[in-house]
Amino acid sequence: MEHHAQPGPKANTVAVIGAGVVGLCTALEAQRYGYQVTLFDRDTPGKGASFGNAGYLATELVAPLATPKTVAGALPMLLNPNGPLSLPLRYLHRSLPWLARFVKAALPGQVARGQQALTQLNQQAVKAWQQCLADIEASEILVQSGYLLVWESEKRLDEARRHADWLREQGIETELVQGERLAMLEPELAPVLSHALYFEQACQVSDPWHLCQRLAAAFQARGGHFIQQPVERLEPGDNSVTVHSKGEALGFDQAVVCAGAWSAQLLQGLGIKVPLEAERGYHLTYAADAVQLNHTIGSAERRMVMSALGSGIRVVGMTEFGGLTLAPLARGFRALSHHAQGLFPALSRPEVTASQWMGHRPTLPDSLPVIDRHPQHSGLLLCFGHQHLGLTQAAVSAQLVVSLMRQQAPEIDTRPFRLDRF
Ligand SMILES: Cc1cc2nc3c(=O)[nH]c(=O)nc-3n(C[C@H](O)[C@H](O)[C@H](O)COP(=O)(O)OP(=O)(O)OC[C@H]3O[C@@H](n4cnc5c(N)ncnc54)[C@H](O)[C@@H]3O)c2cc1C
């Protein structure tokens, strides 16, 4: 794929709505092909879900979130006070219909199709990031950190072996590590740890917020226009889209909706209904020296991820269906602190403190994003709904949606990501 500016196409102005990691990558990718791009966000770039994630390129997560196993395991998770699943009562009337669709998406045929589509995206994800970061001379942001998926219960050794076999079938090699080898890889992990799967090639970014700042700076340095204003409404016409923001109406040849968990609100104004939920996740960020962390760590039992980032040691987790307006709940932070201390006892010292954050993952019932051109409004493109994998898939999704923008065949079959699947 070429990565230098191309002669401007005839229809050449593009509005990108949303300056999260997906919108930033999309804006830069469109610039590479000579489009004149205006990026809108009501906030400074990268302050949505893209601000507080774990920075991990989780390419091994190719199973959709809805599977018979996750559906069967939901109730015990919900009943555990430190469990990863939370359904705030105040939002239950909204989350239940969505959860019904989620359960339907766990049918075996759907899961297999979803897995195939996610595999296609994830296989290209690191390469796409390498291209994007090399192009803006920021390759050092991508770090081969390695990933350790850990278990505490020795009784679950077979579970790890089965998972390793399943991963091998997907073309992902891991090493089962235990005892001294595990302690050598990660010396400050609690001694109760039994075993882990080691993904030596796995990558993370050095810091997700810093990444967004670098992407935004490159976009502006290349002549991109950033407008820090909320977009109230989109009005597609014949081969054009008008963006309404703060009483102004600005016309573009094409517009891409990259508004993360808020994308459904924008589309609703056009009479388009998308079952997009805000799947709320939490983080705690400790000082960089609170604990020594050599790899990105995931806990199979506690369902959380920890990573060493430029901004500190971050622990992320929780799946809370609480919508876009409810304030963060204390339970999420308490549970994360409990789990982080369980894995790293050094974090229980009284002087250790952490900053707190909650963000909205944009999640569709079948765990696949929407990457599409609107069937009726030809100037309107869509790129949102990347659930737990938005950082991982941002650069590859940007390549795909810009291929659609250019009316070129994308490198990956984008039919599974069409809007009309709902
Ligand atoms: C706790 C947590 C941990 C995570 N860890 C990882 C991880 O390790 N790896 C990974 O791959 N993914 C991870 N994710 C998921 C990832 O962060 C998201 O999928 C990704 O950030 C989504 O990016 P986005 O650009 O679509 O959305 P966002 O970053 O939310 O950006 C959307 C932007 O649109 C703007 N916007 C919305 N509506 C409007 C409007 N009307 N007008 C103007 N602007 C608007 C918002 O202000 C926002 O800036 C994690 C998520 C959470 C919550």
pLDDT, tens digit, for every residue of 138-188?
999 999 999 999 999 999 999 999 999 999 999 999 999 999 999 999 999
Rounded to the nearest angstrom, the gap between the alpha carbon of residue 328 and the centroid of all alpha carbons in its chain is: 19
Tell me the two tokens of residue 384.
């949102």
- Residue of 17, 41, 61, 244 to test ligand 1 pocket, by largest number of atoms within 8 Å of CB: 41
Q: How far apart are CA 280 and CA 415, in angstroms?
A: 28
Ligand 1 atom index nearest CA of 386: 19
Q: How far apart are CA 230 and CA 241, in angstroms?
A: 16
Write down the pLDDT at residue 375: 87
- Report CA(97)–ligand 1 centroid distance (Å): 23
Q: Cβ atoms within 10 A of the Cβ of 200, count?
A: 14
DSSP assignment of 85-124? EE--GGGHHHHHHHHHHHHHTTSHHHHHHHHHHHHHHHHH
Q: Are strands 380-384 and 254-257 parallel, antiparallel or unpaired?
A: parallel
> Residue 376: which residues within 8 A CB-CB, separation 6 or more?
none
- Report CA(339)–ligand 1 centroid distance (Å): 24
- Report CA(32)–ligand 1 centroid distance (Å): 23
The number of residues in the chain equals 422
Q: Cβ atoms within 10 A of the Cβ of 420, count?
A: 8
Q: How far apart are CA 386 and CA 229, in angstroms?
A: 23
Place of tokens 């600005």: 250
Sequence ranges of the chain with CATH classification 3.50.50.60? 1-63+105-145+202-274+364-422
Q: Which residues pair with 40 in a beta bridge?
A: 17, 227
- Whose CA is closest to atom 50 on ligand 1? 53
pLDDT at 11 over 60: no
Tell me the two tokens of residue 353.
């403190």
- Whose CA is closest to atom 4 on ligand 1? 53
Q: Contact at 8 Å (CB) between 55 and 202?
A: no
- Report CA(359)–ligand 1 centroid distance (Å): 7
DSSP assignment of 224-256? -EEEES---EEEEETTEEEEEETTEEEEESEEE
**Mean pLDDT value across residues 276-281:** 98
Which letter does DSSP use for residue 349 in this model? S
- Report CA(348)–ligand 1 centroid distance (Å): 30
- Residue of 16, 40, 42 to test ligand 1 pocket, by largest number of atoms within 8 Å of CB: 42
Ligand 1 atom index nearest CA of 266: 41
- Whose CA is closest to atom 18 on ligand 1? 390
Q: What is the dihedral of CA 258, 263, 267, 268, to 10 degrees?
A: -170
Amino acid at 300: A
Q: Is residue 238 very low, low, confident or very high in pLDDT (cuts 50, 70, 90)?
A: confident
Q: Which helix (H) or strand (E) holds 297?
A: strand 296-299
pTM of the model: 0.96
Residue-wise pLDDT for 373-402, tens only, equals 998 999 999 999 999 999 999 999 999 999
Which residues have CB under 6 Å of ligand 1?
A: 17-23, 40-43, 47-50, 52-56, 58, 230-231, 258-262, 266, 281-283, 316, 359, 361-362, 384, 386, 388-392
Q: 1-63+105-145+202-274+364-422 has which CATH code?
A: 3.50.50.60
- Report CA(188)–ligand 1 centroid distance (Å): 31
Q: Which helix (H) or strand (E) holds 318?
A: strand 312-321
pLDDT at 15 over 60: yes
Mean pLDDT of the chain: 95
